[in-house]
Structures are given as structure tokens and as C-alpha cells.
Structure 1
Amino acid sequence: MKRPIALLAMAIGAVIALPTLAAEQPPVFDLSPQRAPIDAPRNPAAIAQIPQGFKFVEPGTFTVAIAGASGPPLALLASDDKTTIGSEADTARLIADSLGLQLKVVQTSWEDWPLGVSSGKYDAVLSNVTVTESRKKRFDFATYRQDVLGFYVKDNNPVTSIKEAKDIAGLKVIVGSGTNQEKVLLAWNEANEKAGVEPATLVYYDDQAAATLALQSGRADVFFAPNSLLAYIAATRGGIKRVGQLNGGWPLQADIAVTLRKGNGLVTPIHTALEGAIAGGQYAAVLERWGLDAERIDHSQINPPGLPD
């Protein structure tokens, strides 16, 4: 997913400067590095598809890059301040288990992963990477989540459902500048104005804590942002709820995928591994663990249509 620096800062700030929402609630996520892993069984079909003589970065190990700036619940540090946990690491574990490999997670920056995977520094990247047509020229993809944007309101807000343009009429909606979600709201406002319906007022914040406080205090009605960020806040702090969602590529389909060096032959066994984990229920368990049920897919795809650039 392509996001400006301001929004990344919002994501990182989600758990370090969050104002108290309603009654304080204990986190529902176990952040201990010793938390029970969700394991997948070895998948003989996937193992058989690994190209003969394929050289992993480290023998017997699946080396995966995860960008820490993805933010919780996708990627965060455990309570030991060094172990990377989150939905991305748990998904990578399912793939490694299925392929009969040990998992090694390497923290990286968003800027580093393209060169890292192209050069063979990493076997794969799981870092909320959206499939685009330009990226497909350089990388292979096996999808594992939908790119989802979420509409969130204060728990006692009378708004119960946001599905289309008319549903935001007259509301004050928090959004990040230059984001996909801003494009959606601008298009919806245009449609409302043409239909003679009152448009929404877009409210811009470059700080997650300030934006969440504005929602809680009533200075804004709705917060529209990447679903994972707000789902984590809703689960760990409470006080807000999701009332709608859209695919992040609206009006097109945007998919999040394991990213691999083009043509190295690893995309097929990883796809098979994901399909096995989906059928076996381990994939659903990972998403449920991190509050990401809304981003679930029924089947993995290899190199699906990507977003235009």
C-alpha cells in the first residue's frame, strides 16, 4: 500500500500516544514474545513445488522482510522490544511451517524491501504490499489479504452504516491528505453535490492521537483510514466501532500479497501453502487473533490484476 509519510506517522503513533477512550480496557492481544504460535502442518504439495535446487537465503529457513512502519496490528515489537510480531509475522509462520522451513523475520524499512527481495537478500516480503501493475513487472505475488479501508465512529454515534456517497452527507469525516481514502471522499462529495445532497466536510489531521481525540470529543463524526490501524485501536482501547468498509483500491480491487523476486519459482509453492492454511483454518485464526477478519480472503491468487500507477 502506498501511503505518505504523514499517514505512516499516524500509524506508528496509534499505540504510543493514544488518548484514553471511554473506559480503559486491557489489550486483547498477547504481546509476549513467548505467546503461543499459530502453526500450520507441513504441506507436501507445496513442498514438492519448490524448484529443485532452489537456494533459500539460509538453508532450511524462510527469510521474510517486514517493515516496522507498517504499524500494529500488522507489525510491532513484542514486550521484549526486539521480537517482531503481528499479523504479517504470523502469516509468514504459516507459510514457513507449510514449506517445512524455519522462519526468520528481518525488520526492514519500506524503502529497502524492493532492492532486498530483488537482490536475494530476503526470500520474501510480507509488509502490506499492494499489487500494482508496475510492481508485477519486477515481482511475483501471492495474495493473502484484502486491502481494506474502514469507516469508524464513536461507540454511541447514531451513524450505523456507511456504504455509499449519500451515507456521508453532512458528516465531518477525518481523513489523511493525499491518501486513497481522500480520493474516495472527494469522489463521493462530487456525486453528492451533483445529486443535490449536502457533501461531507473533510477534516485533516497529521497525528493519530489528535485525530482519535477529535472523534471521541465529537469534533468529527467519522474517521476513514486503513482498517487495520483503527481495528487495533477499537480492540485495544475501545470507544470506537466500524460502521463500514471499502476496498482500498475503490472502485477497483486492491490486494495485499506476499512479494517475491520475479520468476524465481517460489510463488507457486507459497500460493499452495496459503491455500492449505486457508482450508485448514490456521489463516482465519491469524486474522481473528489480530482483529482483521474484515480483510480475509477465500482463496489466494497468483499475480492478480494490479492497481494502475
Structure 2
Amino acid sequence: MSIRRNAAAAAIGIAALLTAPLLTTTGAAAQTKAFDLTPDQAGRVHAETVDAAVAAVSPDFNFVKDGVFTVGVSVGDPPLNTYASDAKTVVGTDADLASLVAEALGRKVEFVPVAWADWPLGLVSGRFDAVISNVTVTEERKERFDFSSYRQDVLGAYVALNSPIQSIKEPKDIAGLKVIVGAGTNQEKIVVEWDRQNVAAGLKPAEFLYFDDNGASQLALTSGRADVEINPNSRLAYAAAVGGKTRPVGIINGGWPLTAEIAITTRKGSGLADALTLAINALIANGKYRAALERWNLGAEAIEQSRTNPPGLPKV
């Protein structure tokens, strides 16, 4: 799911986002707080230097800038990476993680915005030290890059706030439902396979609905034209927070039936990946990591341990 970037989310107005409610639900109850998209990011979590991580950086690795951790990011997909109200400061979950890792390495963070399709060339050519932009670990990518995992690659199942649906976690749960899913995506592949299994078992088939933009899919869901949307959890969690009209009913790994992870991406054999893995694990241990995810309503995507070059999704 993270191979494609959906820029439509960037169309949400900055002014509205500054006061957007962060929605958490228990049944039909909701509590809200505001997102912070101001450029100063007063609420951003900070970390102390992790000596073990600093020491683990290969002496052969040359950072782009002295005292700086330079990170390539694809901007325009909140809550992962987007622009603050000044239209130039990068904020979001991945930006927070990059800031934490930089501090763990005893460095400042600097972002280099890059189109999603261009990050591999930018990384190999040395424009930045690493990419932190929702990159899924795959076996094919591991042939060219090293990875330090930092988040689960997960899909979210979201319904209208007043929907009777309470749980979607396995194939039978979508039987007979109208399901919104992205065309030509990994999530479509998963739900189509679920539907195939259901029909083979004598259950009602699902009906799949496709929309060109996120606003249309949200309207279909909240108006009752669709029963559930199954798409990248980060985007749906953000939409639920901003609109306050939907709620989560399930988390599905993006590699189903396998497990997929999101990772910081570095040049193959550059000698930086192990240091980044150590930094992330220190942040997990001291609670800074989870606090950064919770700040953007993505606690459900947390991992228990970072790994260097974990098993990736198989080659197609």
C-alpha cells in the first residue's frame, strides 16, 4: 500500500487542519483534541543523544552535512508528511520520527522534499542520508537498500460513526458488504482474495466501490452508500480525526497473509542502518517513539522492536 502516494489528501485546507479534532472512539463516544500544524511544532517529542547509536555509525559513512541528519521526504500525505501553515515546514509522523532519530544521533534534522518516484535516485546519488517516507520493506528493494523498521505497514477498516459494524479482521467480516478500496492497490488484492474465499465458502459476495479522490470516498461512507472503507490506515485515521464522522473497526497488515513493515531507507552497505535501528529501539524503550505516533493518531501502527533488514514482501 505504501508504494503509491496519494496526493489528494494534500487538498485538505491548512486552516481547517489547525483546529481539526483528533477523534478517539469507544463505541459511539468520542473525545477530541486539536492537531498542531504550526511551523514551530511546540508539541513535537524530543530525545537525548543515544551514545550506542552514535558509536554504531560506520567510520566510512559520510553525512551530507556536518552535524545534520539529512532526510528525504515525500510531502503531501498527512499525517505522514505534510506542510505546516507556513507552507514550507515539514510536519507529520515521519517528520517527528526523523527529528527523534536525528537527536538520538546527536544531530539536527534537515528535510529534502522529493517526489515519491524520485527518492531512490536521490538516495543513491547522495542528496540525503536516508529516506523516511512510509517506505515498505520488500525483498526486491533490499537488493539495493538497507532498512531500519519503524512502523507496521497496515490497512485500516473504517466505518461511519453510527455504523452497526464493530469488527473487520478476517475474510468473513466483509461478506455481503459494500467495500471502498483503491483500484490497482495491494489492499484491493487482499480484499478480492477475501471475497474469493467467502464465495467459495458459500457466503455472500462483497461489492467493491472505487473513487478517484478521498473526499468522494468519505462522502460515500458517511452517507451510507458504502459500508466500510479498507485503505491505508494512516490516511483513514487522519480523515477520522479531521472529519469526526468515521471510526476504526479493524487493522489488517498490508502484507496479508504475510507481515510487512515500514522502514527508514539507507544506501546498501553504507554503514548507517544498524545505528538507526539502535536509535529507534532506544526510542521505543524510553517511550518517545510511541508518544510521537500517538501525537498523530497512529498508535495502532507501532512496532515492539526495530530490525535491520527484516523479511520483506516477496518479489511479485
Tell me the TM-score normalised to structure 1 length. 0.93
CA-atom RMSD in angstroms: 1.7
Aligned to 1:219, which of 199, 218, 225?
225
Matched, 1:281 2:279: no
Identity of aligned residues (%): 53
Q: Which range is displaced more, 213-222 or 47-56?
A: 47-56
The one-letter code sitting in structure 1 at the alignment partner of 2:69 is F
Alignment partner, residue 125 of structure 1: 131
List alignment gaps of at least 5 residues for structure 1: none
CA contact (8 A) 1:64 1:126 kept: yes
The one-letter code sitting in structure 2 at the alignment partner of 1:8 is N
Question: Aligned-pair distance for 1:111?
Answer: 1.4
Alignment partner, residue 71 of structure 2: 64
User: In the aligned structure 1, how far is the partner of 2:21 from the partner of 2:54?
Assistant: 43
Q: Within 5 A, what are the aligned runs for 1:159-308?
A: 159-308=165-314
Question: Aligned-pair distance for 1:146?
Answer: 0.3
User: In the aligned structure 1, how far is the partner of 2:21 from the partner of 2:246?
Assistant: 12
Q: Within 5 A, what are the aligned runs for 1:40-59?
A: 40-52=47-59, 54-59=61-66
CA contact (8 A) 1:152 1:244 kept: yes
The one-letter code sitting in structure 2 at the alignment partner of 1:101 is R
Matched, 1:91 2:97: yes
Secondary structure of the structure 2 residue equivalent to 1:68: coil
The one-letter code sitting in structure 2 at the alignment partner of 1:283 is Y
Secondary structure of the structure 2 residue equivalent to 1:112: helix
CA contact (8 A) 2:21 2:35 kept: no
Closer, same or farther: CA 28–195 of 1 in aligned 2, 3 Å: same
Question: Aligned-pair distance for 1:181?
Answer: 1.1
Aligned to 1:104, which of 76, 89, 110?
110
Question: Aligned-pair distance for 1:68?
Answer: 1.0
CA contact (8 A) 1:151 1:224 kept: yes
Q: Deviations over 1:212-264 (max 9, x none)?
A: 00111101110111000010011122010000110001111111000000101
Question: Aligned-pair distance for 1:53?
Answer: 5.1
Question: Aligned-pair distance for 1:164?
Answer: 1.1
Secondary structure of the structure 1 residue equivalent to 2:172: helix
The one-letter code sitting in structure 2 at the alignment partner of 1:200 is A
CA contact (8 A) 1:9 1:207 kept: no
Alignment partner, residue 26 of structure 2: none
Alignment partner, residue 39 of structure 1: 46
User: In the aligned structure 2, how far is the partner of 1:51 from the partner of 1:102?
Assistant: 19
CA contact (8 A) 2:60 2:271 kept: no
How many residues are matched?
300
Closer, same or farther: CA 34–262 of 1 in aligned 2, 3 Å: same
CA contact (8 A) 1:64 1:105 kept: yes
The one-letter code sitting in structure 2 at the alignment partner of 1:79 is S
Question: Aligned-pair distance for 1:54?
Answer: 3.0
Question: Aligned-pair distance for 1:46?
Answer: 0.7
The one-letter code sitting in structure 2 at the alignment partner of 1:148 is V
Alignment partner, residue 116 of structure 1: 122
Structure 1 segments, 4+ long, off by >3 Å, are 1-4, 9-13, 24-27
Closer, same or farther: CA 254–203 of 1 in aligned 2, 3 Å: same
Q: Deviations over 1:88-137 (max 9, x none)?
A: 11000111000101110111111111011111111000010001111101
User: In the aligned structure 2, how far is the partner of 1:56 from the partner of 1:166?
Assistant: 50
User: In the aligned structure 1, how far is the partner of 2:312 from the partner of 2:105?
Assistant: 27
CA contact (8 A) 1:28 1:236 kept: no
Secondary structure of the structure 2 residue equivalent to 1:111: helix
List alignment gaps of at least 5 residues for structure 2: 23-32
CA contact (8 A) 2:168 2:174 kept: yes
User: In the aligned structure 2, how far is the partner of 1:164 from the partner of 1:10?
Assistant: 29
